[in-house]
Chains A and B, each alone.
Chain A
Amino acid sequence: MYKLVLMLLPVLLSGCMKNSETERARKAQGLVYCAEANPVAFNPQVTTTGSTIDIIANQLYDKLLSIDPNSGEFRPELATHWDIANDGKEVTFYLRKDVQFHTTSYFTPTRTFNADDVVFSFSRLFDVYNPYHFVGDANYPYFQSIGMDQLIRQVVKIDDYTVRFELFNAESSFLSNLATDFAVVTSKEYAQNLLKIGKEAQFDQLPVGTGPYLFKHFLRDNLIRYHRNAHYWKHPVAMEQLVYDITTNGTSRIAKMLTKECDITAHPSATQLEFLISREDIRVDKAANLNIGFWAFNTERPPFDNPIVRRALSHALDVNKMMQAVFYGSGIAAKSNLPPSSWAFAPQSQLPEYDPEKAKQLLLEAGYPDGFSMTLWAMPVSRIYNPNARKMAELIQSDLKLIGVTAKIVEYEWNTFIDRVGRHEHDSVLLGWAADTPDPDNFFTPLLSCTATFSGKNPSNWCNPEFDLLLTQALDTNDIELRKVYYQQAQAMIAKELPLMPIAHGLRFQASSSDVEGIELRPFGGISLAKARRAQ
């Protein structure tokens, strides 16, 4: 076989040398991003999957407003300014003019962005008379999990560039939620065109937005291609093309960084960070991130409906070992379900510590002296809050064995996995949550409230009215100190009831070629490549 190599090499190499100039020129016009999973959809309104949001939200769409990652203040985006009236129950947005929607092979806009688009985009979430409300089974997981569909009374168009949101009651996190990656503005004209030809389902698959890149092509399991939006309102976009190379395997993603097939890679695995940092041609960025990795129990299924069992299992976890073997120093052990950088954080002393003896004793107390067997679902992708759930699951498996509990590890492809966990088919699951806004509510309502249970976003399947009451009270007030008190009570409640066992908060890493600049990593929400360019 070496003969073939010897035969082919000169041919291929000589060609490669000759054209390297042209090659470089061509490469300079595009950027390849190694993504870890297929996008679930191309509309952030209908999904909360982090890998999908990273790919679509900031690249294709714009929001009304955003949050400055450094100062925490609101920044104008599609809305130039806004004011709040009537005790916070009415929010009026004044919209930017001359913003163009994408011109693609499947849609050519005849007008610029205006109030109709905003009304359409948001009424889709809650208004049953919106023709698109039931497209895709009326599933808007983020908005439903925070109860926004119950919050907005109506969205009113005042004039072409003014929109008023009328709420049933004031909620302190409303603006923050509008600034999340999910609250994007879509094109009403495009929606109507599709309606005319009866292809509504296409709306969430072939996107039209106002963002820096426009959709060109998607080949499942293979690639997504975006082109530059030449008419982007905010600033000129440097890269001609943005290509997502869908590479589910973390090792392959790193390898592609080394062979220069990728310029940026999502979530390099913790084991390889040290190696990557040692390379000169690769830059590793680190950003604090609001997230939590946890082990959630399906609290509707016996024996996990018993808090003592949940506590016993949690006592069996050797978290320190996990921090070493799974996080390799890229995370901090959790002291609560809120990360320490959140303003409402309070360390919980009730949180179980590693103590197998105690665990056994508690199991005895709960009536399981001989243990039991259970399933342990490990997510198949690497996320900030859990770089390697499979490995963690194996650690937990051996920890549980010590207290006589047999755990069977279950894995599915990521989208199937989310789907099945949403249907609560698991006994317990290793999962996590990365915040979309700095508001602490983001760690409670979308994750553990009763509404989240119904929308399938609550992996603990846990619905506690008392807990929900605390959350509502915290949202009803704008007094930070008061809110802190409520959230601290909520944290204590989680530490006591343990619908989920908080494990760790991860740091967000991002590896990119050292000649690529302008990648925006934020402590919350997805990545933005709008300003990405190659250094000359």
Chain B
Amino acid sequence: MAKFKLYSEESNRSPLSRLWKKFKRNHPALVGLWIFMALLVLAVIAPVVSPYGINQQHSDALLLPPSWHDAGNVRFLLGTDDLGRDVLSRLMNGATYTFGLSVVAALITTFFGVILGTFAGLTRGIRSSFLNHLLDITLTIPSLLLAIIIIAILGPGLMNTVWAIVFALLPQHIHSIRNLVVQELNKDYITAFRLDGANQWYIIRRGIFPNIYEQIVVIFTMALSTAILDIAALGFLKLGAQPPVTEWGAILAENLGLIYIAPWTVGLPGVLLFLAVLATNLVGDGLRQVLKDRKAD
């Protein structure tokens, strides 16, 4: 960045629009954002727009290859599986489960993470020490293992998976947000605020949050990519969503037996998963980069 600016209106813009301006220049991140938005829209409208029902079986069209293939049929754009179910419809609905539920799980995690993290950041003394010890333990256990433990107790199932992932991601979240809060609390302007007689709630609302919410979004994207991977991994291990639920990992596991004769039924859900995680990571990385750059300005 140039150190001298002839015109200064740029820096007068709101932080958010400056953020966007920088973000726009990062092309991979922008592409990631578009894919992300597309998936989000798909997750919401998939049940309405998908051409067939997810469990609608067409006994006249078993294992059709995608439509561009010679043996394909335009009725089924991405072909059918071994029960004659439309692959496209199943994959579209899969967005609702894998991507949509991951977003929900990440949102819940963020919500509780912010509350508990802030609380942890504000506490001092023995309570803080105990909390930190507890976090220490759970932090050392990876989220997927923690999720597997929770599923071992609750039993396999999609909703159980979501809860398991929320619980598993929470410690990391609390930890990061607590660090952010503590960092901000130690800054001079907060001390000044405090000297002005602001109460705790006011400090949090007007002092800390406006300064950390962008970071929280970054943390959210990290949680989201972990959540997608975990939901899919659990679905793949048959510990999460159970067929015929159209979660991508579960579809993949279900169609594994068809890998030789109908590779598209295995390949496509994998591609989608990869795209979803990639898009989330690109957005998160881009955002982090931009925040760093803005700070450096």
Residues of A within 8 A of B (CB): 249-251, 254, 269, 271-272, 274-275, 318, 320-321, 324-325, 388, 390-391, 394-395, 397-398, 409
Q: List 26 A-B contacts (CB under 8 A).
A: A250-B257, A251-B257, A254-B260, A269-B257, A271-B257, A271-B258, A271-B261, A272-B257, A275-B260, A321-B57, A321-B59, A324-B59, A324-B62, A325-B57, A325-B59, A325-B62, A325-B83, A325-B84, A391-B82, A391-B83, A394-B83, A394-B244, A397-B244, A398-B55, A398-B57, A409-B242
List the B side residues contacting A251 at CB < 8 Å. 256-257, 259
B243 within 8 A of A: yes
Partner of B82, one of A254, A275, A325, A397: A325
Bound Cα distance from A239 to B254, whole angstroms: 37
The 5 A-B pairs with the shortest beta carbon distances in the complex, nearest first, are: A275-B260, A321-B59, A251-B257, A251-B256, A275-B261
List the B side residues contacting A388 at CB < 8 Å. 257
Q: Are A272 and B260 in contact (CB under 8 A)?
A: yes
List the A side residues contacting B243 at CB < 8 Å. 390, 394
List the A side residues contacting B55 at CB < 8 Å. 398
List the A side residues contacting B84 at CB < 8 Å. 325
Q: How far is the CB of B225 from chain A (nearest CB, A)?
A: 19
Minimal Cβ-Cβ distance residue in A for B84: A325
Q: A271-B257, A275-B260 are known; give 8 further A-B pairs, CB within 8 A.
A: A269-B257, A324-B62, A325-B62, A325-B82, A325-B84, A391-B82, A395-B57, A397-B244
Q: How far is the CB of B152 from chain A (nearest CB, A)?
A: 15
Bound Cα distance from A200 to B124, whole angstroms: 64
Per the 8 Å Cβ criterion, residues 43-72 of B in contact with A are 55, 57, 59, 62
Minimal Cβ-Cβ distance residue in B for A408: B242
Q: How far is the CB of B266 from chain A (nearest CB, A)?
A: 10
Q: How far is the CB of B174 from chain A (nearest CB, A)?
A: 33
Q: How far is the CB of B156 from chain A (nearest CB, A)?
A: 10
List the B side residues contacting A395 at CB < 8 Å. 57, 83
Q: Are A274 and B261 in contact (CB under 8 A)?
A: yes
List the A side residues contacting B62 at CB < 8 Å. 324-325
Bound Cα distance from A324 to B61, whole angstroms: 11
Bound Cα distance from A433 to B82, whole angstroms: 25
Residues of B within 8 A of A (CB): 55, 57, 59, 62, 82-84, 242-244, 256-261
Bound Cα distance from A250 to B82, whole angstroms: 16
Minimal Cβ-Cβ distance residue in B for A276: B260
Bound Cα distance from A391 to B261, whole angstroms: 17
List the A side residues contacting B244 at CB < 8 Å. 394, 397
Q: How far is the CB of B81 from chain A (nearest CB, A)?
A: 10
Minimal Cβ-Cβ distance residue in A for B53: A398
Q: Are A272 and B82 in contact (CB under 8 A)?
A: no
Minimal Cβ-Cβ distance residue in A for B262: A271
Minimal Cβ-Cβ distance residue in B for A269: B257
Bound Cα distance from A249 to B237, whole angstroms: 12
Residue with the highest number of chain B CB atoms closer than 10 Å, among A249, A251, A395: A251
Bound Cα distance from A324 to B55, whole angstroms: 17
List the B side residues contacting A271 at CB < 8 Å. 82, 257-258, 261
List the A side residues contacting B256 at CB < 8 Å. 249, 251
List the A side residues contacting B261 at CB < 8 Å. 271-272, 274-275
Bound Cα distance from A390 to B243, whole angstroms: 9
List the A side residues contacting B259 at CB < 8 Å. 251
Bound Cα distance from A433 to B258, whole angstroms: 26
List the B side residues contacting A397 at CB < 8 Å. 244
List the A side residues contacting B83 at CB < 8 Å. 325, 391, 394-395
Q: How far is the CB of A27 from chain B (nearest CB, A)?
A: 24
Q: How far is the CB of A121 from chain B (nearest CB, A)?
A: 41
Q: How far is the CB of A389 from chain B (nearest CB, A)?
A: 13
Minimal Cβ-Cβ distance residue in B for A390: B243
Q: How far is the CB of A72 from chain B (nearest CB, A)?
A: 36
List the A side residues contacting B82 at CB < 8 Å. 271, 325, 391
List the B side residues contacting A320 at CB < 8 Å. 59
Bound Cα distance from A226 to B112, whole angstroms: 57
Q: How far is the CB of A526 from chain B (nearest CB, A)?
A: 24
Bound Cα distance from A400 to B294, whole angstroms: 60
List the A side residues contacting B260 at CB < 8 Å. 254, 272, 275
Q: How far is the CB of B144 from chain A (nearest CB, A)?
A: 21
List the A side residues contacting B59 at CB < 8 Å. 318, 320-321, 324-325
Residue with the highest number of chain A CB atoms closer than 10 Å, among B62, B83, B242: B83
Minimal Cβ-Cβ distance residue in B for A274: B261
List the B side residues contacting A272 at CB < 8 Å. 257, 260-261
Q: How far is the CB of B243 from chain A (nearest CB, A)?
A: 7
Q: How far is the CB of B254 from chain A (nearest CB, A)?
A: 8
Q: How far is the CB of A304 from chain B (nearest CB, A)?
A: 24
List the B side residues contacting A324 at CB < 8 Å. 59, 62
Minimal Cβ-Cβ distance residue in B for A320: B59
Q: How far is the CB of B54 from chain A (nearest CB, A)?
A: 11
List the B side residues contacting A269 at CB < 8 Å. 257
Residue with the highest number of chain B CB atoms closer than 10 Å, among A318, A325, A388, A409: A325
Q: How far is the CB of A273 from chain B (nearest CB, A)?
A: 10
Q: How far is the CB of A511 from chain B (nearest CB, A)?
A: 12
Q: How far is the CB of A142 from chain B (nearest CB, A)?
A: 31
Bound Cα distance from A516 to B82, whole angstroms: 32
Q: How far is the CB of A278 from chain B (nearest CB, A)?
A: 10
Bound Cα distance from A254 to B257, whole angstroms: 9
Q: How far is the CB of A330 from chain B (nearest CB, A)?
A: 14
Minimal Cβ-Cβ distance residue in A for B243: A394
Residue with the highest number of chain A CB atoms closer than 10 Å, among B83, B243, B257, B258: B257
Bound Cα distance from A318 to B243, whole angstroms: 20
Bound Cα distance from A187 to B257, whole angstroms: 43
Bound Cα distance from A249 to B256, whole angstroms: 10
Bound Cα distance from A318 to B55, whole angstroms: 15
Bound Cα distance from A271 to B254, whole angstroms: 13
Bound Cα distance from A409 to B245, whole angstroms: 12
Bound Cα distance from A414 to B82, whole angstroms: 24
Minimal Cβ-Cβ distance residue in B for A279: B260
Bound Cα distance from A450 to B243, whole angstroms: 36
Q: How far is the CB of B267 from chain A (nearest CB, A)?
A: 15
List the A side residues contacting B257 at CB < 8 Å. 250-251, 269, 271-272, 388
Bound Cα distance from A409 to B243, whole angstroms: 9
List the B side residues contacting A318 at CB < 8 Å. 59
Bound Cα distance from A461 to B259, whole angstroms: 39
